[in-house]
Structure 1
């Protein structure tokens, strides 16, 4: 049985990035009929779950929840849960692409999100860099609610192994949950702004910043407009450390 810890009532399995990739790979190989929804649980999602019942239900019913952010990992250590490392949506996406590069089996992906130019560029980059990966379809993220069903129908007809949803949290989580019985994909993952990184529109923090767990600061320095969003981090830390069941 997989060990887990709870952060403000949200259960996080104690898995490394590699262990998470292994589990997701097994899900694809098992050819299950139901979609596995992977939620990358960051502090914003955990905080929102405290008052948003619908979002909490989505997270609780997910096939897998990962620790998306060093804040989640640090709080777990303070509270004695000790999650091994963060497992972000961006890391998952790149690991899945890289892991299939030398595989005999070609995984198929559908990309949903980002603007039209970024979406196209992401497909070009993936096709060139990961020849064993097949992008069966894509759609930008600037669509209206009345366009949902057409997109869902297209994804359903293509039946990708992985549905990569870059609509931002928690919109991605809500969208996947709403249509999970129609998408006909093996695994669906909300990956935030990862397609911007894939396409080269946004540069990810250098490895040294990541190792020092300062990627959040790097992003803030590059995008000062994020400061309001970053205010949730100290609030999360205080509430999570002193959270009582």
Structure 2
């Protein structure tokens, strides 16, 4: 008999006008949703996405409509701490790894689908996970370079398979728009935009050393790996300035829901 995972009630906090849901254990909350067959769109919010949302109202709208927005980036966590919320960072890649472990240990939760990345990367990531967690049920994989003619076939395939956990690695903000547009194909699934996680799992790229991650400096390692991202990294000081101005002008706006 399947054991139901206790589920907390998320608290809602505002970060520069965008929602962030505060929980002690995000993977437990999502596992509980999976057990109840309740669909969920998870957004992994960081400073870069926050700044993009300021200039991209449709992206901001998708973030507001998401069922769960987690504090993925160091900037978001520091903002929360400045406002008295002692939250730990919850990187999307680590949340996805915890869920893959849970799905592997409880096959009744359902199957998993990997969508995105260059050809062959998602499949390699799946092979790594199947070796690590033999009980993990994989519904399938699909690279992220589909032609317009191939897309309807893929949509029908996804609809027929009905996986319960769908990891989408198309990069920000493409993956957020894609999930919002297509989540009705599998309404009972948990959908998570995982960025470049497939590359990491497949061994194409490596994560920053743990000491950098623990000190909120993972962005330095990412810049070292991908120097072309330097323009996008300018979002970090911009976020810090906006956070300071927002705090001074809004006087710690906090909203919560029970």
What's the TM-score, normalizing by structure 2?
A: 0.87
Instruction: Determine if the alignment matches structure 1 residue 183 to structure 2 residue 186.
Output: yes
Provide the aligned C-alpha RMSD in A: 1.8
User: Following TM superposition, by how much is the alpha carbon of 1:30 offset from its aligned partner in structure 2, in angstroms?
Assistant: 0.7
Distance 1:206 1:196 in 2: 16
Distance 2:154 2:237 in 1: 38
User: Following TM superposition, by how much is the alpha carbon of 1:241 offset from its aligned partner in structure 2, in angstroms?
Assistant: 2.3
- Structure 1 stretch 158-167 or stretch 137-146: which is displaced more? 137-146
Residue among 68, 71, 83 paired with 2:72: 68
**Equivalent residue runs for 1:1-245 within 5 Å:** 1-16=9-24, 19-32=25-38, 35-78=39-82, 80-82=83-85, 84-103=87-106, 105=108, 107-243=110-246, 244=249
Q: Secondary structure of the equivalent of 2:54?
A: coil
User: Following TM superposition, by how much is the alpha carbon of 1:101 offset from its aligned partner in structure 2, in angstroms?
Assistant: 4.0
User: Following TM superposition, by how much is the alpha carbon of 1:179 offset from its aligned partner in structure 2, in angstroms?
Assistant: 1.3
Q: Secondary structure of the equivalent of 2:207?
A: coil
Q: How many residues align?
A: 240
| Inter-CA distance 242–228: structure 2 relative to 1 (3 Å threshold) | same
Which consecutive unaligned segments of at least 5 residues does structure 2 have? 1-8, 251-258
Distance 1:69 1:228 in 2: 17
Q: Secondary structure of the equivalent of 1:116?
A: coil
User: Following TM superposition, by how much is the alpha carbon of 1:148 offset from its aligned partner in structure 2, in angstroms?
Assistant: 2.6
Q: Secondary structure of the equivalent of 1:181?
A: helix
Q: Secondary structure of the equivalent of 2:166?
A: strand
| Inter-CA distance 42–63: structure 2 relative to 1 (3 Å threshold) | same
| Residues 175-219 of structure 1 deviation map (CA, whole Å, 9 limit, x = unaligned) | 011112123451100001000011011111122221122111122
Distance 1:61 1:102 in 2: 31
| Inter-CA distance 81–216: structure 2 relative to 1 (3 Å threshold) | same
What's the TM-score, normalizing by structure 1?
A: 0.91
- Structure 1 stretch 81-90 or stretch 161-170: which is displaced more? 81-90
Distance 2:188 2:166 in 1: 6
User: Following TM superposition, by how much is the alpha carbon of 1:146 offset from its aligned partner in structure 2, in angstroms?
Assistant: 4.0
Which consecutive unaligned segments of at least 5 residues does structure 1 have? none
| Residues 97-117 of structure 1 deviation map (CA, whole Å, 9 limit, x = unaligned) | 223444364541100001112
Distance 2:134 2:99 in 1: 13
